[in-house]
Structure 1
Amino acid sequence: MSDRNGDTYNVYVGTEPLLRTPPSTPRRVADDQLARLQQQFARPDGMGAAYDVLAGEHTVILHGEAGSGRSSAARVLLCELPQGRGTYHELTPEEPEVPSGQWLSLDLVGEQDRMLLDLTSVDERTWRKVHDELSGFRHEVLAQGAFLALVLPRPFEEQLGPQFTQFRRKIGRPDAWEAVNRHLWLAGVHESVRDLAPPALRTYLDSGPPLRDVGRLAERIGVAARGPGDFASWCEAALAAQKDRTRDVAEAIQGLRKGRQRALFLTAAMLEGAPAEAVHRATNLLVDEAGSTHDDRPLLEHKGLSLRLETVGAELDSDARVHFTEPGVAEAARHRFWTDLPDVREPLNNWLVKALRLRGLDESDLAELVARFTDLCVSTDDTERLTKLVERWTRDSAHRATEVRAAAHLLKRGLENERSGGEFRSRIYAWSTGRPSKHLRDVLVEVCAKVMSVHHPEPALVRLHHLARNESHPSVVARRALLDHVSQDVRLQRRLLARLATAQAERHHRADADLFLDLTGLPDGFLLTAPPREWLTSCWRMAFDLLTPNRWARCTTRWLVTADRTKGEALVEAALSILVDASDMRYPVLSRIYADARRTVSPDLASHLLQSINTAQRARFTHRAPDLEESPS
């Protein structure tokens, strides 16, 4: 569990965490990404008008051409608003867990929050549900003084209700030259790109490529700028890497007549950057899986690996690792084999399972291999193949540390892909609410805590909550990750508290009550508003009803000690009233609370607690209250 100094929670297999991530909280990672976006962002046409609507109406709805940077524009607009008490966060509409629930929960709106609702990738059903709830959600936005930027999905732009058209603004395409300039400025290249640009760069940018590709090109120029040469040579190298190699690869495959030659080409593409020894062994595995034949000549008559790599356009570097001589070839080859030879998918799937066990592949090699295979499956919407791999790699009966780690990398890649992220979040929800194996549970905790939490903190909370409440004793992996996740954001604490207090299924009440006892801090002002106060009372009542005094007593003591240190009469009064109300005037509960208070808090607070108890008893009963001063502990 985090020690609250910025380190993130880790799940270990052996001595290594499943996923290596920067030593920062998800909130810090998201903020850093947002800060970098603001520095790189080139303002498009319509940005000023959109800001005026957002600032004046607290809502703006953006639309525009695909690839014009609408989502980035929405993020920057929200961050350009004057900073208030609220936070920036992104909303993720999901089907509610109960029939009466909402796709856009009003609990997600905090005072002066700045919220992004990016609907560019949602399906029609999600769009309709969100649209139906939008008026009520905007009412809460206004009530909280918050701000909402919504990005319309292009297929459903014309379905936007007339009551929202006044908030709709079009975002144009930013100047590509300015976008490149801003990227390169961050890389230390401060000259004007337009003045230095060679003809090839001018031709490329004038062709109107998607902004995502422009950003990728600028990043490649920045990388090249760290080496020798001038600006023209840097651009030449970046444009070469940007070139579409599909036709070149198709011709190369056509020229390879033997199955083992094609197996080497595909293996080198899947394992580019890996050691030559591993590529050689992996090629033999693929030859077997694909039903091809090995070279049946005597071993000493075989061509050497270096020469065979030359036939597919690859070579060995100084560290004996395999690389293609032309950039972009590996990616194009992978996709060409996958799409043009669909019958190779199943053998490649089986090959991947075996390749993970090859000696010589380090963790980064394995992570790259799994990520590349995941990208192939996502490109043809074959996510079912990926979920089967995750389940296979995390079966307790077939546990291997490498495979469990591969499952984590697979889910990380799937979640981060815009095309497949929603489907993987749904799949993880299904696993989390079921009975996952121990190793699958560990993987789910890791990807929820480290990956999903960055841009989808509420869905991560929901899944971690299900994993925690179904966790078998004595394991506390999911619980610790959940508590670490919500400790970083009062809004998430509020969200979890609401879930604990309003859970519909009674079978979860005991686990939720036990979990609540680890949330018994007192955020400033948290108790002074009606919903949290009611939720806290409900949760304490569950704890008193379902758990033993030995479990809840130390938590009531911690609650009272915290209240004793709190400045503010209203907050202290609320803390005491919540405990008294939750007790339902049960003598054993009140007796234990008061006896513990006399030993651990100031006499003033203990006296105040006794007064609260007596006042509540007089209001409820007409007979004399028990004398708690003489009650045993």
Structure 2
Amino acid sequence: MTGTGGTGGTSISDPQGPVHSGGGDQNNTYYYSTGLREPLVRAGVDRREIVHEHRRRLAKCFVWPGGYARAADRLARPGAVVLLEGPPGIGRRSTATMLLVEASVQGSRIEELPTVREEESFEPSPDDRYLLDLSSIGDSDYPAAQRTLMSYRALVEESGARLVTVTPSGLEWMLDAELAPLVVHLERPSGRAVFSRHLRVRGVRFEYEQLDHGDLPHLFETAPMWELDRLAGLVVQARDRAGHGTSFEHWRDEAVAAATNWSQQVAGELRQHRGAEERALLLAASMTSGGPADTVLSAAYSLLGVLGHPQDETPRLARAGLGEQLEELSLAREDDGRVRFVRLAYDDAVRRHFWENFPDLRADFRDWVGACMELPGLGAEGRARLVARFAEQALRTDRPDDLHLLIERWTQPSVQGRLRAEAAAALELGLSHERYGSRFRSHAYQWVTAARLAPDLARVLTVVCRQVMAVTHPEQAMVRLRHLALRQENPEDIKAAARSALLELARGNRGLYGRLVHRLLPRARPADGGLDVLLALLDPAELRVHPPWQAFVFAWRAVMAGKPARAWSPPVQRWLAALTLRQVGEEVLNALLLAAYGDRDLLNRLYVTTCDWADSEPVDMPEGLRAQCGARARTADRFCREIDLAQGVGGLSSASGARATREGP
């Protein structure tokens, strides 16, 4: 992080997320990766609305890179597959997202595909839109990733869906000749336009010539798109700190200084403060900035303990007090007792410096953050900030396994559930990361399929799959929730929560409904709970889509054959009531008949169930329709005649006749 006069050029530290600046119904699923400080889970806010909010912001900020129009033209054709190629930092992933959004139709889904095919079958429909991000794939894994891409391509072309793939930079020479015609090369968009768009979207007023100053022109030519987004955010922070009465030039200069100069300032400060206690206090303050002063001090002592630093034998009263120590490090203790850095975003630069310049201590920093979770003065908000700040550095320095390890530690039985929220936050941040999100989804799959799974980790996975992954990657969430719901060793509360989340997903999407049935049928046995999930899936009470009828028939067949009639009769009767109210069509009767066809005992039980429903009090009807019991009788009579025909016998021809004996033909 140096100025333009340095040998390394100008760069901006601390990326906040992958937003490329510039420019529903139940089946709508929009993928969008958030930044580390923009969690998908917000109290009291619908998660889909958050995803849509990010998509709207991307659309407002997006500036077309060179090659965008050609890619959009190709993607307009049914079954199109487009590969985006270009240097890193120009917004390739955001470009892919915008291409898919603009190629969408009402009711379509946009979803990211895994780089490694999982157990689910891939069955795209013409309205589906897919993103495959291979940008972080290394040369050793690229051949296998291309084979996966080719398998996706064949199915997308056959179905008429659309697929946009982001290829890894620097590996163009490894691209299979069969895929070469699909490549569109992207060129860097105007950095000035990108930065300007971000400022305007954030409500910052400025004159165009005010951007021709200092390091800004160089940044416009060289900085990645997410760094320009970050810089615009710093301008807003500077404005809010100083008040709106100051000028844009003031906010601009403070933001550029925070983005480009603080690394030199931190390095110089550490040369002046070489003592372990001073440096520990500085790092602790940067990680717990905004927390109480005594918590900052406790965190510093904890760091020294983790590093095995010998204790200072000088009596405590003979050493500098906390206020003096903070002042020497240019830290402010405000009136509320909380510690903050005076300079804008200086805490970010301190964290970055320690992770960059002490790589041999990164594992110790991880263990220290884990130990800090038990500090009594930190509080829930402080722990959340600490998790986010650690995740930012761990992922920036290519150490996602540090987060995996902490998630496992925080969900061990010995922790007794105290850090479940922090584990969930860490997992959410990993899943939301542009580069490592796919790795965290794969790790989640490894966890749910492992021989042993800690109960609290299972609870965390259930919550995050339901609230985060289900919004951005519903099919992958469904796979993991199914394992959690059917895992025999899981406690009942975990299985119930996972089953509820699984059903919520499938009940709102016909494709997911069909795929869940497909996966459950081979193992739909009472012992593992698969039949219970199918039975709940067949109940119309909370179903929000018309089920795919082939899967509907197969599910009914399995449930009728594997569960007693007293279990499946109530949902059958609710379907009959829905048919009577004209909420569903005659295909319901056909599906039930097909499910029982060829099994005389099942047909008899279906017959009796229908008769019982016709005679029962119509509590499932609105008050105004209860008197119209004739409608129920007509539905029952029609269905019983169909059952007679399926049996191939004369027998009783109406439900009214069968009610005398409560037996079918």
Letter in 1 for 2:89: G
Q: Distance in 1 between matches of 2:348 and 2:198?
A: 24
**Cα distance in 1 for residues equivalent to 2:84 and 2:148:** 18
SS of the aligned residue for 1:56 comes to coil
Partner of 2:491: 472
CA distance in 2, matches of 1:357, 1:453: 31
Distance 1:380 1:521, change over 3 A: same
Which residue of structure 1 aligns with residue 644 of structure 2?
614
Q: Which one of the candidate residues 452, 462, 477 is aligned to 2:479?
A: 462
Offset, 1:257: 3.1
Residues 536-583 of structure 1, C-alpha deviations (whole Å, 9 max, x = no match): 222222222333333222222223323333467553444433443496
Q: Equivalents in 1 of 2:401, 2:293: separation in Å?
A: 32
Q: Which 10-residue stretch deviates more, 20-29 or 547-556?
A: 20-29
Which of 254, 277, 294 is 1:260 aligned to? 277
Question: Aligned runs of 1:153-164 on 2, under 5 Å?
Answer: 153-164=168-179
Q: Does 1:446 align with 2:463?
A: yes
* Residue of structure 1 equivalent to 2:17: none
Q: How does 1:570-581 map to 2 (within 5 A)?
A: 571-581=587-597
User: Which structure 2 residue ranges, 5 or more long, are not aligned?
Assistant: 1-25, 27-38, 617-630
- Shift in alpha-carbon separation, 1:383–1:145, aligned structure 2, 3 A: closer
- Structure 1 gaps, min length 5: 5-17
Q: Please give the residue correspondences for 1:222-621 in structure 2 after superposition, counting only pairs within 5 Å.
A: 222-226=236-240, 227-228=243-244, 229-243=246-260, 245-401=262-418, 403-434=419-450, 435-470=452-487, 471-473=490-492, 475=494, 476-501=496-521, 503=522, 505=523, 510-520=528-538, 526=546, 532-566=548-582, 569=585, 571-581=587-597, 586=602, 589-599=605-615, 602-618=632-648
Q: Which stretch of the first structure deviates more once superposed, 484-493 or 417-426?
A: 484-493
1:588–1:612: structure 2 CA closer, same or farther, 3 Å change rule? closer
Q: How far, CA to CA, are the matches of 2:555 and 2:155 in structure 1? A: 25
Matched, 1:54 2:75: yes
The answer to whether the Cα contact below 8 Å between 1:60 and 1:167 also exists between their aligned partners in 2 is: yes
* Per-residue Cα deviation, 1:293-319 (whole angstroms, up to 9, x for no partner): 444444433312122123333222332
* Alpha carbons 2:135, 2:168 under 8 Å: kept: yes
Distance 1:497 1:367 in 2: 38
Q: Which amino acid aligns with 1:200?
A: G
**Match 1:44 to one of 49, 62, 65:** 65
Q: Secondary structure at the match of 1:34?
A: helix
**CA distance in structure 1 between the aligned counterparts of 2:640 and 2:191, rounded to whole angstroms:** 70
Instruction: Tell whether the 8 Å contact from 1:510 to 1:542 is kept in structure 2 after alignment.
Output: no
CA 202–413 in structure 1, closer or farther in 2 if over 3 Å, else same:
closer
Q: Which amino acid aligns with 1:443?
A: V
Which sits farther off after the overlay, 535-544 or 575-584?
Answer: 575-584
Note the aligned Cα RMSD (angstroms).
Answer: 3.2
Residue 64 (str. 1) matches residue 86 (str. 2): yes
2:100 maps to 78
The question of whether the paired residues in 2 share the 8 Å contact of 1:49 and 1:169 is answered with: yes
The answer to whether the 8 Å contact 1:282/1:358 transfers is yes
Q: What's the % identity of the aligned pairs?
A: 30
Amino acid at match of 2:235: I
Separation in structure 1 between the aligned mates of residue 238 and residue 346 of structure 2, nearest angstrom: 18
SS at match of 2:82: strand
Q: Cα 1:220–1:384, aligned 2, differ >3 Å: closer, same or farther?
A: closer
Change in 2 beyond 3 A, CA 1:129/1:268: same
Name the SS for the 2:467 alignment partner.
helix
Distance 1:94 1:136 in 2: 11
Tell me, in whole angstroms, the C-alpha distance in 1 between the residues paired with 2:598 and 2:344.
66
How many Å apart are 1:138 and its aligned residue?
4.0
Distance in 1 (CA, whole Å) between partners of 2:400 and 2:112 is 25
The answer to whether residue 226 in structure 2 is matched with residue 212 in structure 1 is yes
Matches of 1:52 and 1:144 in 2, distance apart?
19
SS in 2 for 1:586: helix
Query: What is the CA–CA distance in structure 1 between the aligned matches of 2:306 and 2:462, rounded to whole Å?
Result: 34
Measured after TM superposition, the shift of residue 170 of structure 1 is 1.5
Report the residue type matching 1:150 in the other structure: T
The question of whether the paired residues in 2 share the 8 Å contact of 1:21 and 1:450 is answered with no
Preserved contact between residue 536 and residue 578 of structure 1 (Cα < 8 Å) = no
Asked whether the equivalents of residues 600 and 647 of structure 2 are also in contact (C-alpha less than 8 Å), the reply is: no
Q: How does 1:23-34 map to 2 (within 5 A)?
A: 23-34=44-55
Q: CA deviation at 1:44?
A: 1.6
Cα distance between partner residues in 2 of 1:345 and 1:329: 20
Shift of 1:584: 6.9
In structure 2, what residue type is equivalent to 1:478? A
CA deviation string 1:566-620 (max 9, x = no partner): 46755344443344349675356434433344246822221232233222222xx
Pick the structure with more helix per residue: 1
What is the DSSP-based 3-state SS (H/G/I as helix, E as strand, rest coil) of the residue aligned with 2:99? helix
Contact 2:134/2:165 (CA < 8 Å) preserved in 1? yes
Partner Cα separation in structure 1 for residue 479 and residue 278 of structure 2 = 49
Give the superposition deviation at 1:381. 4.2
Change (3 A) 1:24 1:140: farther
Work out the CA distance in 2 between the residues paired with 1:324 and 1:291: 27
Match of 1:15 in 2: none
Q: Helix, strand or coil for the counterpart of 1:150?
A: strand
Deviation at 1:139, TM superposition (A): 4.9
Whether the 8 Å contact between 1:176 and 1:211 is mirrored in structure 2 is yes
Q: Tell which deviates more after alignment, 171-180 or 343-352.
A: 343-352
Cα separation, partners in 2 of 1:609 and 1:354, compared to 1, 3 Å: same
Residue 200 of structure 1: SS of its match in structure 2?
coil
Aligned residues: 599
Any conservation in 2 of the 1:42–1:179 contact (CA below 8 Å)?
A: yes
TM-score, normalised by the number of residues in structure 1: 0.85
- CA, structure 1 residues 408+572, in 2 after alignment: closer, same or farther (shift >3 Å)? closer
Q: Deviations over 1:219-278 (max 9, x none)?
A: 222343443311111111211221254443333333323222222122112212211111
Offset, 1:134? 4.6
Question: Helix, strand or coil: the match of 1:21?
Answer: coil
SS at match of 1:67: coil
Cα distance in 1 for partners of 2:54, 2:367 equals: 37
CA drift of 1:93 comes to 3.9
Q: Deviations over 1:93-117 (max 9, x none)?
A: 43323xxx6xxx432x233223222
CA shift for structure 1 position 135: 5.2
In the alignment, the residues of structure 2 paired with residue 148 and residue 508 of structure 1 have an alpha-carbon distance, to the nearest angstrom, of 39
CA contact (8 A) 1:580 1:613 kept: no
CA distance in 1, matches of 2:585, 2:362: 67
Instruction: Verify the 8 A CA contact 2:644 2:651 in the aligned structure 1.
Output: yes
CA 203–125 in structure 1, closer or farther in 2 if over 3 Å, else same: closer
Counterpart secondary structure, 2:131 = strand
3-state SS in 2 of match to 1:120: coil
Q: Is the 8 A contact 2:96 2:166 kept in 1?
A: yes
